[in-house]
Amino acid sequence: MKFTERLKTGKKVFSFEFYPPKTAEDTAKLFATALELMKLSPDFVSVTNSSSGVAPYRTVALCGVLKAQFGLEVVAHLTCLAHTKSEIAGICGGLVKMDITNILALRGDPHNVEADARRSDYSHASQLIADLKKTGGFAVGGACYPEKHPEAPSLDADIARLKEKVDAGAEYLITQLFFDNAFYFRFLEKAAAAGISVPVLPGLMPLTGYKQMQNFTKLMQVGIPDALRKGIERWDGDKDGMFKFSVDYASAQAAELLKGGAPGLHLYTLNRSRAAIAILKNVRTDVAV
Compute the distance between CA of residue 16 and CA of residue 278 in angstroms, rounded to an integer.
13
Compute the distance between CA of residue 42 and CA of residue 130 in angstroms, rounded to an integer.
28
Q: Is the pTM of this model over 0.85?
A: yes
Task: Give the 3-state secondary structure of 194-263.
Answer: CCCCCCEEEEECCCCCHHHHHHHHHHHCCCCCHHHHHHHHHHCCCHHHHHHHHHHHHHHHHHHHHHCCCC
Q: Which stretches does DSSP call E strand in 66-214?
A: 74-79, 102-106, 139-144, 172-177, 200-204
- Nearest CA to 235 out of 226, 243, 227 is that of 243
Compute the distance between CA of residue 289 and CA of residue 285 in angstroms, rounded to an integer.
9
DSSP, res 155: H
Neighbour count for residue 193 (Cβ, 10 Å): 10
> Block means of pLDDT (10 residues each) for the chain, length 289 residues?
86 94 93 94 91 69 94 94 87 93 89 56 93 92 95 96 97 96 98 98 88 75 91 92 95 97 95 93 77
Compute the distance between CA of residue 279 and CA of residue 257 in angstroms, rounded to an integer.
13
- Nearest CA to 3 out of 142, 179, 146 is that of 142
Domain ranges in the chain are: 3-286
> How far is the first Cα of the chain from the last one, in angstroms, to the nearest whole number?
21
- Nearest CA to 82 out of 42, 124, 32, 122 is that of 122
Q: How many residues does the chain have?
A: 289
Compute the distance between CA of residue 49 and CA of residue 19 in angstroms, rounded to an integer.
7
pLDDT tens digits for range 69-95? 999 999 999 998 878 899 899 999 999
Note if 73 is an active site residue: no
Helix axes 239-259, 181-193, angle to 10 degrees: 30
Q: What is the pLDDT at residue 113?
A: 54
Which is the catalytic residue, given 5, 17, 147, 233? 17
179, with CB counted inside 10 A (0-12, 13-18, 19+), is buried
Evaluate whether 52 touches 84 at the Cβ level (below 8 Å): no
The fold of the 3-286 domain, in CATH, is TIM Barrel (3.20.20)
DSSP, res 111: G
pLDDT tens digits for range 186-232? 999 999 999 999 999 999 998 887 777 777 777 778 888 999 999 99
Compute the distance between CA of residue 17 and CA of residue 49 in angstroms, rounded to an integer.
11
